[in-house]
Homo-oligomer: A and B are copies of this chain.
Amino acid sequence: MKQINIGLLGLGNIGTGTYKVLETNRREIEEAAGASVQITKILEKDIDRPRDIDVPRERFVSDAEEIFSDPDIHIVIELLGGVEPAATLMERALCSGKHVVTANKAALAANFDRLMKAAKDHGVTLRFEASVGGGIPVLTPLTSCLRANKFTRILGIVNGTTNYILDKMTLEGLPYEEVLKDAQEKGFAEADPTADVEGIDAANKLSILMALMFNHYVHPDDIPTKGITDITKEDIEAAKKDGNLIKLIAYAEVMEDGEIKYEVRPMRIIETHPLGGVHREYNAVFVEGNVVGNLMFYGPGAGPLPTGSAVMGDVIEIVKAM
C-alpha cells in the first residue's frame, strides 16, 4: 500500500480534532483512500499545550518551509485560522506542488481567486469542505451532485455561536448579554466574540458559497453585514407573535434580471420553515436550484471532530484522485 504523508499547519483545537479523527478511524480512512495516511510534520510553536493525543515530539517543526520543501509530503492541511499568515502559507504550499486542505474560511474568502489560481497553475488541488458548515457536506454536493442546476438562492445559518444565542434567547426569553455570557462559559462563544456576533464569520462563508454556486466572487468586506448585537428579547417576542423566529441569515439570490443580491443580517423565518428547526449551535444551508428545487443540509457547523471529519474527507478525495 502506498503511503501518503501530510504536513499539518496548526495543532490547536481543530488541528487536534483532525489528528484524533485520523487516529480514531484510521482503518476506515485508509481503506477509503486506498493508502496509508500519516501526519509526519506539524507546524506548531506550543508543543507542550495539554492535548489528549499522543504526538511524537520529533514531528513538530518550527519553520513551515521544512514542510513545503519535503519531497515526501504530498498534502498540507492548514488549520491555523485567521487570514495571515495562513493565506501566504497556503499559497507557498500550493506553489511547492502540495495539495492543500483547509477549514479556514477567513483566509480563503479574503484570497479566493489568488488561491484557486495558485492551485490551478501548479496542477494541485485545493479543497475546503470544512470551511462552510463545518462537518456538514455542503460544498462538495453543491459542486458535484447538483452541478446540473442553475442555483437561484442561498439562505444559510452558517454561524453556530449566533444561532446558539438567538435560539436560547427565543426558548428562554433571556436578553442578549446574559445568553452571550452563558455561551462564552460553555465554549460556544469566544472571549472576543466580535467575528461571530457581528456577522463577519457568516460573511466569509457566504463569499465562498457565492463563488462556488454563482461563479461570482465577492470579497467578504464588500458583503453588507449586520450582526445580532442589537437584537432584543422584545424583537424576538414580536417575531414570535407572528409565528416567526429571528435567525442570522447569510442570504444571496439571483434576481430575474441576473443581478445578484446578497447580505448577512438577522431575518425573520417562519417557524415551520426547515430552517426554523435549526436549534442550538447547529448550522444549515438551504439552497434553491432551478431543476432540483429546495434542499437543506443540516448538521454540526463547527467543533474539532466534525471539522476534522470534513478535513479528512477532503484528504481521502485527494488521495483517491492522485
A129 at the binding interface (Cβ < 8 Å): yes
Chain A 74-91: CB-based contact to B (< 8 A → 1; otherwise 0):
000000000000000000
- Neighbouring B residues of A175 by C-beta, 8 Å: none
Q: When the two chains form their complex, are residues B291 and A25 in contact, meaning their CB atoms are under 8 A apart?
A: yes
Binding-face segment, A60-68, A115-123, A193-201, A297-305: A297-305
State which residues 247-301 of A face B: CB under 8 Å: 272-274, 276-279, 289-300
Given A141-B141, A274-B298, A279-B272, is A147 in contact with B316 using a C-beta cutoff of 8 Å?
yes
- Neighbouring B residues of A314 by C-beta, 8 Å: 145
Q: When the two chains form their complex, are residues B296 and A21 in contact, meaning their CB atoms are under 8 A apart?
A: no
Q: When the two chains form their complex, are residues A21 and B291 in contact, meaning their CB atoms are under 8 A apart?
A: yes
Q: Which residue of B lies closest to A308 (CB)?
A: B291
Q: When the two chains form their complex, are residues A25 and B148 in contact, meaning their CB atoms are under 8 A apart?
A: yes
- Neighbouring B residues of A312 by C-beta, 8 Å: 148
C-alpha gap A190/B82 in the complex (Å): 54
Q: When the two chains form their complex, are residues A305 and B291 in contact, meaning their CB atoms are under 8 A apart?
A: yes
A238 at the binding interface (Cβ < 8 Å): no
C-alpha gap A146/B297 in the complex (Å): 13
Q: When the two chains form their complex, are residues B294 and A300 in contact, meaning their CB atoms are under 8 A apart?
A: yes
Q: When the two chains form their complex, are residues B293 and A306 in contact, meaning their CB atoms are under 8 A apart?
A: yes
C-alpha gap A225/B129 in the complex (Å): 37
Contact of A291 among B24, B140, B148, B150 (CB under 8 A): B24
C-alpha gap A29/B20 in the complex (Å): 39
Q: Which residue of B lies closest to A321 (CB)?
A: B321
Q: When the two chains form their complex, are residues A24 and B276 in contact, meaning their CB atoms are under 8 A apart?
A: no
Q: When the two chains form their complex, are residues A309 and B29 in contact, meaning their CB atoms are under 8 A apart?
A: no
Closest chain-B Cβ to A160's Cβ sits at a distance in Å of: 12
- Neighbouring B residues of A299 by C-beta, 8 Å: 292-296
Closest chain-B Cβ to A65's Cβ sits at a distance in Å of: 29
State which residues 118-150 of A face B: CB under 8 Å: 129, 135-137, 140-141, 144-150
Q: Which residue of B lies closest to A296 (CB)?
A: B298
Q: When the two chains form their complex, are residues B144 and A317 in contact, meaning their CB atoms are under 8 A apart?
A: yes
A310 at the binding interface (Cβ < 8 Å): yes
A15 at the binding interface (Cβ < 8 Å): no
A192 at the binding interface (Cβ < 8 Å): no
Chain A 25-36: CB-based contact to B (< 8 A → 1; otherwise 0):
100110010000
C-alpha gap A17/B186 in the complex (Å): 49
C-alpha gap A277/B150 in the complex (Å): 26
State which residues 200-214 of A face B: CB under 8 Å: none
Contact of A145 among B25, B273, B310 (CB under 8 A): B310
Contact of A313 among B144, B277, B278, B305 (CB under 8 A): B144
- Neighbouring B residues of A289 by C-beta, 8 Å: 309
Q: When the two chains form their complex, are residues B306 and A148 in contact, meaning their CB atoms are under 8 A apart?
A: no
Residues of A at the B interface (CB closer than 8 Å) are 20-22, 24-25, 28-29, 32, 129, 135-137, 140-141, 144-150, 272-274, 276-279, 289-300, 303, 305-306, 308-310, 312-317
Please give me the 9 A-B residue pairs with the lowest Cβ-Cβ distance, nearest first: A137-B141, A277-B277, A148-B312, A137-B145, A295-B299, A292-B309, A296-B298, A135-B292, A32-B147
